Amino acid sequence: MFAIEVLPTNAVELEYVIQTVANIEATVQPDDAWNQKTLAELLEQDSIRLLIAYDQAKEDSTSYREIVGYCLYQTTFEQAEVLRIGTDPKYQRQGIASQVLNKLHELLQINQVESLLLEVRADNTAAIALYEQQAFSIIHRRKGYYKVPHKPAVDALIMQHTYI
């Protein structure tokens, strides 16, 4: 079972969380990872929040809570956007991203957000399937948006989930 919580405010735990998220980022986003400094700077903004998924099964056997996933998002008035979402590869395919998104939907609805946007690579079929299960729909395609040297460009899909 996994617990989904908002970023802690305790300074020591906060530093651990940000570093762990940066480490997961480096693994799941190798071509475009956001580092600890970038994440810390973003989280200084009032509109940006971080949800963290912890492995509850390991809480009793270790002195720390093992972070297994995260979602960095921004809310501006009635609109929200997923900036980053990721799951530690050791925990992928266990429904963590779905649980994180469910928690995010719950928080956004409480705050009367009307819609949630995200961007995904058109070749990321697993993520697209997850987002479609979460009632996101494709509203736009950015042709050749993702460019990596010596590889063909990949389109970006803009997906939206509406609450009203």
Known catalytic membership, residue 59: no
Helices (H), the chain: 11-28, 36-43, 96-110, 125-133
Catalytic residue chosen out of the listed positions 13, 16, 119, 145? 119
Rounded Cα gap, residues 55 and 59, in angstroms: 7
Helices (H), 1-54: 11-28, 36-43
Catalytic residue chosen out of the listed positions 54, 73, 91, 131? 131
Q: How far is CA 127 from CA 11, 86, 93, 110, in A?
A: 32, 10, 11, 25
Known catalytic membership, residue 131: yes
Catalytic residues, which ones? 119, 131
